[in-house]
Amino acid sequence: MEGNLNLTLKIWRQKNAQTAGKFETYQVSGISEDMSFLEMIDVLNNRLIEEGDDPVAFDHDCREGICGMCSMYINGRPHGPNKGVTTCQLHMRSFQDGQTITIEPWRAEAFPVIKDLVVNRSAFDRIIAAGGFISVNTGNAQDANSLPIPKDHADDAFAAAACIGCGACVAACKNASAMLFTSAKISQLALLPQGQAERAKRAEAMVAQMDEEGFGACSNTGACEAECPKGISLENIARMNREYFSAVFTSK
Amino acid sequence: MAWLSKSLNSSLGKKLLMAITGLFLVSFLVVHCGLNATVFFNDGGETFNKGAEFMAKNPFIRTMEIVLFGGLLLHILDGLRLWIDNKKKRPVAYAVVDGAANSKWYSRSMGLLGTLLLLFIIIHLKHFWYFSRLTDNLTEEHTLFHEMQAIFASPVVVVIYVLGCISLAYHLLHGFQSAFQTLGWNHPKYTPTIKCIGAAYSIIISIIFAAMPIAFHLNLIH
Amino acid sequence: MTKLDAKIPEGSLAEKWTKYRSSVSLVNPANKRNLEVVIVGSGLAGASAAASLAELGYKVKVFCFQDSPRRAHSIAAQGGINAAKNYQNDGDSIFRLFYDTIKGGDYRAREANVHRLAEVSGNIIDQCVAQGVPFAREYGGLLSNRSFGGTQVQRTFYAAGQTGQQLLLGAYSALQRQVGMGNVQLYARHEMLDVVVVDGKARGIIARNLVSGELERHFGHAVLLCTGGYGNVFYLSTNAMGSNVTAAWKAHKKGAFFANPCYTQIHPTCIPVSGDHQSKLTLMSESLRNDGRIWVPKKKDDPRKANEIPEDERDYYLERRYPAFGNLVPRDIASRAAKERCDAGYGVGASKMAVYLDFAAAIIRYGKAEANKRNLHQVSDEEIQALGKEVVKEKYGNLFDMYKQITGEDPYEQPMRIYPAVHYTMGGLWVDYNLMTTVPGLYALGEANFSDHGANRLGASALMQGLADGYFVIPYTIGAYLASEIRTPALSTDSEAFVNAEKAVQEQIDKLMSIKGTKSVDYFHKKLGLIMWNKCGMARNEEGLKMAIAEIQELRKEFWSDVRIPGEANNLNPELEKAGRVADFLELGELMCKDALERNESCGGHFREEYQTEDGEALRDDENFAYVAAWEYLSESKFELHKEELKFENIKIAQRSYK
């Protein structure tokens, strides 16, 4: 007993992709405010193991908010109630004693559940593989400083490149749309001089792949931007739209 | 032309269609609202009837009417298609959704608001368009202005119109700025202005429209 | 006695790599198409190697245990990447980077490898910029640099506090490009559980599909382990939860020597432990030491809050002890100095195991500069504070936010509390100049090998090494081996070696599942971590190390008789994954202690309490210990030491001084 938070957890349990899942309710007590949300789940899991039950499976790795692996839908919001943080950086001081917390996996056709709270996000990898790169082989690239890039362009490109690929945008969107994710990469590369050569091709290919993966369209509700732990801006989606339409209407 | 249908059938293309038809309808509303607002001149509908007659007889306007219906139909069908497509993208729904935490309710309810608007438009068309274009009831003694007086005598109709205008306000409140975002017009310098104009437009247009049935009903216009 | 041949090319230091590159065997494009390379791990080293080898035409398979190659823990590196570009005109050069790295490593690294690293460092920056990595820039559009610990020049390139992320995403993009083109086959959520050795050569791996639990056999003409470090042997570290030694350890048991396992880097600036629930530690980038001043109260057990302690009652102990480098001394020195102060009773915070990292002076300094820049006169102290905070926010905003998120304290208003934590392991699989281990065809790249950082790594050099190995070294050196393999057809995975290797892996899994004991995997991991931290951590001594070895052996026995793994093996089972990794840590921990015990000197991250100068600095013994300790696995708890002597022909070996 390290702290004094007592909580009721309603957690989605699903054995594998083939079986149906359901919610299970657990009580946890003595939770410290200094724990991260995942450490609170660790406490629960340790107890489940001791009691001979199957612990809750969830994705996590770096636990410092950068790898993008953790992915819990907490009380109706991806990554929980705080702005600009991933689940692993959400701390229990953001919850009250006696609270009920509902924890669900990301829900999207393109993100099928693997087990409990673990989903398959390989669709994102395929979107990047379709065009989220600059085609330069390793070798004798020109000197880095021979290509000056205005600071504000570099800063904007960085802001877009800060995406961690966690999928909170998809989870938050009522249409399970991946536009924020896709547009962040398209934007980053469209803003840099290095990205110009493949600019049109990239926009068309990445959008096509995004649609093929089964993500929805954008309703411009702004939920993705509001829930993005890295503050990726909706401006990127607008930029992707420009990139895509100008590509479609001008390409040969 | 395969490229065009492919692009327009992409997730972005569908949105482009929504945005373009939406903005077209927005521009129509300006004309519609401006013309109808002449009833507030309180000249017994003289200006209004003149305008209505012009609209009914001018061949350009008549052509545009077809385009307008086309645009409306496209907007509806494309919206319906998007709604059905998007529904499929989350086959298992969340148990708890805290939508208010990250977006405005009306931005998430464009389908619903659109459907309400559609129902309203059907009633509205039956009231006036059907009456003026497809029947012979319009005479010098019974102008469109008189018809308005007659229709808005009913409190039920007035309530329906006011509700329709509220739906319109919220539909536009999101739709106006959303269309610009879809077209890629998002810029830190201009977007706040667009949002501002969008909000003002949505509210003013809807208030003017809603004021008509109320004013007629209360006999403030004669 | 030694079986070790580092295969260092002849010639003067500066010419070795150039000469090597023009004389190394090549594989013609048609043959490359028939040569398969298995790469385990998708961090900076793995992703860059996979992309580069696939571009050359090799058939590549990449394995990672995470759900996507982009999750590899390189992503968490914050501060930056070094390169001898000398863009700042402050006297940097390839030789100086080489010199700083050897000196920073306390003269325990191989000269030829380190010089090569310094030579290619510039190419890395060029390559990354070409890929679209958004490095920080100046208003003129050119790249920006900052300084880092252990150096007196500004050679660190960075992208806010997320340099590792940006570099990894660059390499990941290059990798995904090859995946899209069909040149790389990607196996995410797959964990390598053994190397397959045929006739003495590495010929593939056994991997477990973590979702289905199935074991798979994969052939490769060569196998590259790019699996990172083993800091998680301490349970609490800044590594990711999944970071593990399994791939390297399995290779070790199949014949690859493990070098310098006791060299562990303890990073000085991490957020202190807050309680028993702690699952990992979070780093606060070393770049903070550019502007933050480290201090403790001059009075023992001072109960006052930081802001209430007047200037003259503070002990800026790094500035006091090391006036030349001040707060920017290398990591091992900064860490030990913090431990020394806390052990002496001057620690701060509830646990008293922390020191302050204070930005108040920097805020005022930046505030004044900003006021001047904006032509503001007669500004109040509050306005200067506000301006200064803005500048600090721009430089370190994400780190400050992270600190506040974790501790609930606002570092703009009160100093951060920091304490050292396990961060990086300089030791790893022994490799020769070609990055090949002692098993032919088996390579180790990045943190997984031992070669470049000696006994202590300088900040911003891990990213440099990972990418150097993957982009610019392995594409050349692998040819030296594969050129002689062009006549080897792809082996059938039904061959005996594969079948037997899979059987052994299956047996271990069955054994783990059948124990059905009473304690969770974490219970053992935490216990092991505590033994390692207390007895083989920042300071070690003979007695403690001997005790640790006995305790680890005992714990290992208990693990194999009492661990409880719920669920089944034919399903996603994170507990089973952890169990396999902890089983390997329980063997590695023992070897680390043995290595530390054998090395009767203090150097870099290895500090033996018996060997220190009068003022508490590490005391090296170059006469007896200027060698790489490469351990060969014989059987459980039995290892044989092989020594690779280190020759310093281009650097005058000296007592390291930052005073």
**DSSP H helix total and E strand total for chain A:** 8, 7
Residue A156 has pLDDT above 90, yes or no: yes
- For residue B199, what pLDDT is reported? 97
Cβ-proximal residues to C15 (8 Å cutoff; 6+ apart), any chain: none
Q: Please check whether residue C118 is in contact with residue C95, taking contact to mean a CB–CB distance below 8 angstroms.
A: yes
Interface contact A177, partner B, CB < 8 A: yes
B174 neighbourhood in chain A, CB within 8 Å: 220-221
Q: Tokens 């860490």 belong to which residue?
A: C335
**Residue C554: predicted pLDDT:** 98
Residue type, C367: G
**Quick check: A73 contacting B, CB < 8 Å?**
yes
Residues 6+ apart with CB under 8 A from C298: C313, C314, C315, C346
CATH assignment, C494-619: 1.20.58.100
CATH of domain A121-250: 1.10.1060.10
Active site residue C331: yes
Class of domain C269-421: alpha beta
Beta strands C184-187 and C190-198: pairing type? unpaired
pTM (global) more than 0.90? yes
How would you write C213-234 as a 3-class SS string?
A: CCEEEEECCEEEECCCCCHHHH
pLDDT at A1: 54
Q: Which strand (E) or helix (H) includes residue C488? A: none
Catalytic option among C70, C71, C108, C331: C331
Q: What is the CATH number of the domain that holds B83?
A: 1.20.1300.10
C256 burial (CB, 10 Å; 0-12 / 13-18 / 19+) is buried
Other Cβ atoms less than 10 A from the Cβ of C375: the count is 6
Give residue-wise pLDDT tens across range C129-158.
Answer: 999 999 999 999 999 998 888 888 999 999
Sheet holding C156-157, edge to edge: C81-82, C156-157, C145-146
Residue ranges of chain B whose CB lies within 8 Å of a chain A CB: 3, 7, 10-16, 82, 85-86, 88-99, 101-104, 107-108, 110, 174, 177-178, 181-188
| Contact at CB, B101 and A77, closer than 8 angstroms | yes
Q: Which CATH number applies to A5-115: 3.30.470.20, 3.40.640.10, 3.10.20.30, 3.10.20.440?
A: 3.10.20.30
* CATH superfamily label, C13-263+426-482: FAD/NAD(P)-binding domain (3.50.50.60)
Give start-end residues of each CATH 3.10.20.30 domain in chain A: 5-115
* pLDDT confidence bin for A204, thresholds 50/70/90: very high
Q: How many domains does chain B have?
A: 1
How would residue C285 be classed by pLDDT, with cut points 50, 70 and 90? confident
Helix axis angle for A151-161 and C163-180, nearest 10°, is 70
Chains with 3 or more CB pairs under 8 A to chain C: A
The pLDDT tens digits of the residues spanning C307-333 come to: 999 999 999 999 999 999 999 998 989
On the question of pLDDT at C1 being above 70, the answer is no
Residues of chain A positioned with their CB less than 8 A from the CB of B7: 248
Quick: pLDDT tens for C459-485.
Answer: 999 999 999 999 999 999 999 999 999
Which pLDDT value is given to residue A12?
A: 98
Kindly report the average pLDDT of chain C as a whole number. 95
Q: Which is nearest to B107 in space by CA: A220, C407, C594?
A: A220
> In this predicted model, what pLDDT tens digit does every residue of B150-193 receive, in sequence order?
999 999 999 999 999 999 999 999 999 999 999 999 999 999 99
> Which residues from B are below 8 Å from A190, CB to CB?
none
Average pLDDT over residues C181-187: 98
What are the residue boundaries of the structural domains of chain C, listed by start? Answer: 13-263+426-482, 269-421, 494-619
The nearest CA of chain C is from the CA of A175 a distance in Å of: 23
Domain residue limits at B8: 2-217
User: Is A54's Cβ below 8 Å from some Cβ in B?
Assistant: no
